[in-house]
Amino acid sequence: MKEIEILVEVFENEETVLNALKSYFFSGEKLVIDTYYYDPLRPNLKPNSDNQLTECLRLRTMAEQVFITYKVDRFNENGLWLYSDELETQIESPQIIAQILEKMGLKELITIKNLKRIYKFENYEIVFEKVEDLGLYLEVEFCTDKNVSILEVKKEIQGFIDKLKLKLSPELNIGKPEMMLRKKKS
């Protein structure tokens, strides 16, 4: 599945953002804990010198559910992130999966705790995020198995974001794991 999204940092208070999103369908609030793993022997499963991940393995805990995800990020010729191919499935025992990953030689890279407020509008999932130790973010996502113009979809997502009239950063082109790794490095 292609996950096409735009992630921006929010320079407003929570109340202002929640007010801007109130006209969209609120589908819930979830505490999400993501643990990312790396492989010391495989370059594609390690952050590069800029702490950027091109592929990653993640365990996600959301309420009582746990998912394992493998993501491959796709970039344009200038190195800017376009979208991710994502393979994800629910698992029964996070403890056993963590043991399997350890036996395979994978190491824990970073854990991110994130309160997500999730909204829906047409084909978009709008997620207002409060990320522990990072701040406030807005992610607008479009997922598809179809062959679509990535740049056209991103242009439409950016148009939607602009209509919210919030003070936001430009598209970040990096994910929260990279931001957290860079923060820890500095």
What are 58-72's pLDDT values in tens digits?
A: 999 998 899 999 999
Kindly report the backbone phi and psi dihedral angles of residue 133, in degrees, each rounded to the nearest multiple of 5, phi listed first.
70, 5
Q: What is the DSSP track for 6-18?
A: EEEEB-S-HHHHH
Q: Would you state the pLDDT for residue 135?
A: 97
Q: Give the start-to-end residue ranges of the domains of the chain.
A: 2-185
Average pLDDT over residues 11-21: 97
- The answer to whether residues 66 and 90 touch, using CB atoms and an 8 Å cutoff, is yes
Q: Which of these, 62, 176, 46, lies nearest to 111 by C-alpha position?
A: 176
Q: Would you state the pLDDT for residue 37?
A: 95
Q: Quick count: other Cβ atoms within 10 Å of Cβ 128?
A: 20
Residues contacting 183, CB < 8 A, separation 6+: 133, 134
List the CATH code of the domain at 2-185: 2.40.320.10
**In the chain, % of residues over pLDDT 70:** 100
Q: Please say if the pLDDT value at position 1 is more than 80.
A: no
Average pLDDT over residues 127-151: 93
Q: Would you state the pLDDT for residue 21?
A: 97
Q: What is the mean pLDDT of the chain?
A: 92
pTM of this structure: 0.88
Q: How many CA atoms lie within 13 A of 163 on its CB side?
A: 10
- The answer to whether residues 151 and 75 touch, using CB atoms and an 8 Å cutoff, is no
pLDDT level of residue 122 (50, 70, 90 thresholds): very high
Going through 10-106 in order, the beta strands assigned E by DSSP cover 25-38, 55-62, 65-75, 81-91
Q: Please say if the pLDDT value at position 75 is more than 90.
A: no
Helix (H) or strand (E) holding 174: none
- The answer to whether residues 156 and 92 touch, using CB atoms and an 8 Å cutoff, is no
Q: Would you state the pLDDT for residue 70?
A: 95
pLDDT level of residue 186 (50, 70, 90 thresholds): confident
Which residue matches tokens 């407020």? 117
Q: Quick count: other Cβ atoms within 10 Å of Cβ 118?
A: 17
Q: Please say if the pLDDT value at position 142 is more than 80.
A: yes
Burial of 115 (0-12, 13-18, 19+ CB in 10 A): middle
Q: Please say if the pLDDT value at position 76 is more than 90.
A: no
